[in-house]
Amino acid sequence: MTTTQTHHVQQSAEVNSDGYREFALGEFTFRRDEFFVYIGWPTGEHMMSADAFLRALQRDVAWDFFYGIVNFDGVFGTLNHYGTVDIFAGRFNESYRKAELDYSETMETPQIRATFEAILDDWTNESFDPFASPHETGSAFGLKNGNNTAAVTRQRVAAARMVGVPGDEQVRDDASGYPINRMFADVDQSEPVVEAEPGFESEVAAFSLFAYLSRSNVTWNPSVVSVCKDSLACPTTEEYLLPIIHGNDRVEWFVQLSDQITWEVEDRDTGAVRARVTMRAGDVSAMPADIRHQGYSPKRSMLLVWENNSEKIPEAIASGQAPTYPIEF
């Protein structure tokens, strides 16, 4: 293909017959048509449905390649080394590995970031919001039709200390412009009353996490509502499928705050099935550091993801210094 180089992005100068640009990243190539995305690499080619691809790509971009592995499906994905990112096909798929069809390349993070952002923007039509529940957005399919840059460049909400403390992001009332989601119409909106001692008004805060989450207009996009050293409380609202299969490089805890999510848990490296975990409101689980998982949420639900953000953990676990599970009973 004829390519131009802008901010490290290799993209075709011309659009294809369906109106979409084609991209290259190392030896990987990317193109889409009305229904599908086609990913090529030296030893193979892979197809994904355009909606599933864009939903996964949206998370990978917004989370800056996240913790560990973001599998778009059982074949294609990214592995974060926090500075560089591996882009791979078949690397965590036992059949691809046995057939020696797996392929992987290491990219500088700014290069893959710029390319993924450009693909996401070019391939998302104005009718589609990849962060929204499928019930709350239009179609991803068809010929190229406008764009939805405002939606695909949304920043995740991240507090520096705790939501509600002066100066932090507050998405907590009608004035915020975030209406209560249709599925959370029954969530009590009353806020706790805080009676701080004089002088401590800016340091003591409380808010209703349920009311806060009831206004989330995205799905499967953890926000950060409190930060205490490396301990991050990342609640999120979920509906339909987690658009990625997340391969952990550390333990993460889930607290199911409302409704129900079923987790399909597989071996991180081979994809072999390990467990199916159904979590109901009030259930708590710890996902081990050697698995990958995908959540299924039949009704919009609230989930608290608790992450240890320490940069030392992946190496401690990979080298066997720290266990892959959090607790010995």
Chain positions contacting Fe ion, by CB under 5 A: 246
State the binding partner of 72 from Fe ion, ligand PHB, none, CB within 5 to 8 A by kind.
none
Residue 147 Cβ, how far from ligand PHB at the closest point, in Å? Answer: 25
Alpha helix stretches (DSSP H) within 94-208 = 94-98, 109-123, 149-152
State the binding partner of 236 from ligand PHB, Fe ion, none, CB within 5 to 8 A by kind.
ligand PHB
Residue 66 Cβ, how far from Fe ion at the closest point, in Å? Answer: 8
- Residue whose structure tokens are 């009831």: 214
The residue number with the shortest CB distance to ligand PHB is: 246
Closer residue to ligand PHB in complex, CB, 51/238: 238
State the binding partner of 129 from Fe ion, ligand PHB, none, CB within 5 to 8 A by kind.
none
Residue 318's alpha-carbon distances to 244, 269, 322, 326, in angstroms, are 22, 13, 8, 14
Q: What is the side-by-side strand order in the sheet with 3-6? A: 3-6, 9-12, 23-25, 28-32, 36-41, 44-49
Among the listed residues 175, 241, 235, the one whose alpha carbon sits nearest the alpha carbon of residue 210: 235
Residue 327's alpha-carbon distances to 1, 229, 252, in angstroms, are 53, 21, 12
Closer residue to Fe ion in complex, CB, 209/305: 305
Residue 266 Cβ, how far from Fe ion at the closest point, in Å? Answer: 12
Distance in angstroms (rounded) separating the CA atoms of residues 90 and 133: 28
Closer residue to ligand PHB in complex, CB, 96/240: 240
Closer residue to ligand PHB in complex, CB, 196/281: 281
Distance in angstroms (rounded) separating the CA atoms of residues 60 and 67: 10
Q: Positive or negative CA dihedral for 48, 57, 313, 258?
A: negative
Measured in whole angstroms, the distance separating CA 136 from the mean position of its chain's CA atoms is 18
Residue 220 Cβ, how far from ligand PHB at the closest point, in Å? Answer: 4
Residue 315 Cβ, how far from ligand PHB at the closest point, in Å? Answer: 20
Distance in angstroms (rounded) separating the CA atoms of residues 22 and 1: 8
- Residue whose structure tokens are 């048509």: 33
State the binding partner of 90 from Fe ion, ligand PHB, none, CB within 5 to 8 A by kind.
none
Closer residue to ligand PHB in complex, CB, 95/231: 231
Binding-site ranges for ligand PHB (CB under 6 A): 220, 222, 236, 238, 242, 246, 252, 303, 305
Closer residue to Fe ion in complex, CB, 158/180: 158
3-state helix, strand, coil in the chain (%, to 5): 20, 35, 50
Closer residue to Fe ion in complex, CB, 246/268: 246
Residue 22 Cβ, how far from Fe ion at the closest point, in Å? Answer: 31
State the binding partner of 220 from ligand PHB, Fe ion, none, CB within 5 to 8 A by kind.
ligand PHB
